[in-house]
Amino acid sequence: MRADLAASYGEERLPRYTSYPTAPHFSPAIDEGAYARWLAELPAAASASLYLHVPFCREMCWYCGCHTQIVRRDGLITAYLRTLRSEIAQVSETIGRRLKVEHIHFGGGTPTIMAAEAFADLMATMRQSFFVLPSAEIAVEIDPRTLTADMVEAMRLSGVNRASLGVQSFDPVVQRAINRVQSYEQTAAVVDMLKRAGVNGINFDLIYGLPHQTVASCLDTVRRSLELGPARFSVFGYAHVPAFKKHQRMINEAVLPDGLARHDQACAIANALKEAGYVQIGLDHFARPDDSMAVAFEQRTLRRNFQGYTTDKGEILLGFGASAIGHLPQGYVQNEVQIGAYAQSIAAGHLATAKGYGLTDDDRLRADIIERIMCEFSADLGDICARHGAEAGAMLKSASRLKPLISDGVVRLDGDRIAVAKDSRFLVRSVAAAFDAHLDPAKQLHSRAV
């Protein structure tokens, strides 16, 4: 990474581009009726991916940016899961047939907060409502502090084959500052349980830019994580947005690393993982060379959706649960964010859609360009524009934010092909933003570029 560029561009607030347009542009104009029509219009041979949002945790991590709430007793969880099963059946009925499913992802919150029996019931409902292919990837996000042996067994019996473990940092000083005390031993025990159950696709989530974090503590976390041999790493920069997430006010801003320190931490983590043999993938992922994500990156078939980088090639993502977002060929839909409003909609026999976005031809064109930049650090504008019936020259002319990036050496332009310079790839979001027709720099809705 070039420190001069980190200083110039690093403080920009930019989307992570897990969708285009991004969620702040969704509106109530796309409602339950629109979603029902879109579902009914899905092609007969279509296949889908499913995302299930479980918005509960036992305690709040102060860095968290997710839609979640703290529960001490399980009554609310039980009621929520009952609603979730109803929504799954309702959506399948609206489609009118059992769609094939190639990917299932449980997110949160802490999905494994539910009882093992409840997880098995939820998987049974999905298999009844959809045709879950035997080869489907079934992934679950896990908090190692609360995972039980019973849940691991339920996951094994349900066909779970990938698990993402929240690690963030093994530094006890950092852990106390973010209210997430999690020992190395706890994490190691969970990895061992999962591998014994045949869940060999293990991902670790790390974060840089946390309070009191240093390059040294980041490297120590990487070293200890490597001892446990995960197949993939996701490495995210902490997004401090206390205006939107009030619990983040518990973090002392005076001990947060500045832009250059964040740059140094991200660089140190990336270098350590690459030295250990992991392939750097896009903005924030690393994978073993034989992992399916590294293979997709090499074959230029990598995609990007609301879970980040993915090997999922499908165009249909159905979201279930409060705040869940779905993506269909026609556009995006998002459920009611508040659990009560979500449950009321489903109980009344309605889809829980609160807002969404209907894609235009220009959106689809720009989405393709942005996805290739985010996934490959390059884009053949001539080829992409031709497929959409557009002119590459006109697209380049409209991307005024691209000019300083070219002048600063961040981007190379060769005819109609753009490529992010290798020493500037940490600014890939800045390059993608040059093609974002909806971006409003005055609205600080996103995390820092570095």
Q: How many residues does the chain have?
A: 450
What is the structure's pLDDT at 228? Answer: 98
Tokens of 342: 């979500």
- For 318-363, give the DSSP string: EEESTT-EEEETTEEEEE-SSHHHHHHHHHTT---EEEEEEPPHHH
- CATH of the domain spanning 1-21+360-450, picked from 1.20.58.220, 3.90.950.20, 3.40.50.970, 1.10.10.920: 1.10.10.920
DSSP 8-state secondary structure symbol assigned to residue 1: -
What is the structure's pLDDT at 72? Answer: 87
Residue 75 burial (CB count, 10 A): 8
Q: In terms of Cα–Cα distance, which of 290, 349, 347, 351 is closest to 324?
A: 351
Name the phi and psi angles at 297, rounded to 5. Answer: -65, -45
- CATH of the domain spanning 22-320, picked from 3.40.50.410, 1.10.287.3610, 3.80.30.20, 3.90.79.10: 3.80.30.20
3-state class of 317 per DSSP?
strand
What is the structure's pLDDT at 238? Answer: 93
pLDDT by 10s per residue, the chain, length 450? 566 777 777 677 789 899 999 999 999 999 999 999 999 999 988 999 999 999 999 999 999 988 889 998 899 999 999 999 999 999 999 999 999 999 999 999 999 999 999 999 999 999 999 999 999 999 999 999 999 999 999 999 999 999 999 999 999 999 999 999 999 999 999 999 999 999 999 999 999 999 999 999 999 999 999 999 999 999 999 989 898 889 999 999 999 999 889 989 999 999 999 999 999 998 899 999 999 999 999 999 999 998 889 999 888 999 999 999 999 999 999 999 999 999 999 999 999 999 999 999 999 999 999 999 999 999 999 999 999 999 999 999 999 999 999 999 999 999 999 999 988 888 899 999 999 999 976 555 555 555
3-state class of 407 per DSSP?
helix
Element (H, E) at 274: helix 259-275
Q: Is the peptide bond before 109 cis (omega within 30 degrees of 0)?
A: yes
Whether the CB-CB separation of 1 and 423 falls below 8 Å is answered with yes
Pairing between β-strand 447-448 and β-strand 13-14 as defined by DSSP bridges: antiparallel
In terms of C-beta density within 10 A (0-12 exposed, 13-18 middle, 19 or more buried), how is residue 411 classed? buried
Quick one: residue 4, left, alpha or beta (phi over 0 = left, psi -120 to 50 = alpha)? Answer: alpha
Pairing between β-strand 162-168 and β-strand 201-208 as defined by DSSP bridges: parallel
What is the structure's pLDDT at 8? Answer: 75
Which residues sit opposite 53 in a β-bridge? 107
Question: Would you say the C-alpha torsion 115, 187, 176, 3 has a positive or negative sign?
Answer: negative
**Interior/surface letters 337-365, b for 16+ CB within 10 angstroms, e for the rest:** eebeebbebbeeeebbbbbbbebeeebeb
What is the structure's pLDDT at 368? Answer: 97
Domain definitions of the chain by residue range: 1-21+360-450, 22-320
DSSP 8-state secondary structure symbol assigned to residue 278: P
Measured distance CA(86)–CA(115) in Å, rounded: 18
DSSP 8-state secondary structure symbol assigned to residue 235: E
Write down the residue that tokens 């219009």 correspond to. Answer: 41
Measured distance CA(244)–CA(337) in Å, rounded: 14
Helix/strand/coil (H, E, C) string of 210-224? Answer: CCCCCHHHHHHHHHH
Distances (CA, A) of 253 to 177, 207, 258, 410: 11, 16, 10, 30
Question: Would you say the C-alpha torsion 155, 160, 164, 170 has a positive or negative sign?
Answer: positive
What is the structure's pLDDT at 283? Answer: 85
In terms of C-beta density within 10 A (0-12 exposed, 13-18 middle, 19 or more buried), how is residue 297 classed? buried
Measured distance CA(51)–CA(326) in Å, rounded: 8
What is the structure's pLDDT at 1? Answer: 57
Q: How many Cα atoms occupy the beta-carbon half-sphere of 45 within 13 Å?
A: 0
The residues near 301 (Cβ < 8 Å, ≥ 6 apart) are 311, 313
Tokens of 64: 């968290």
- For 171-224, give the DSSP string: -HHHHHHTT----HHHHHHHHHHHHHTT--EEEEEEEES-TT--HHHHHHHHHH
- Longest Cα–Cα distance of the chain, Å, equals 61
Measured distance CA(313)–CA(326) in Å, rounded: 15
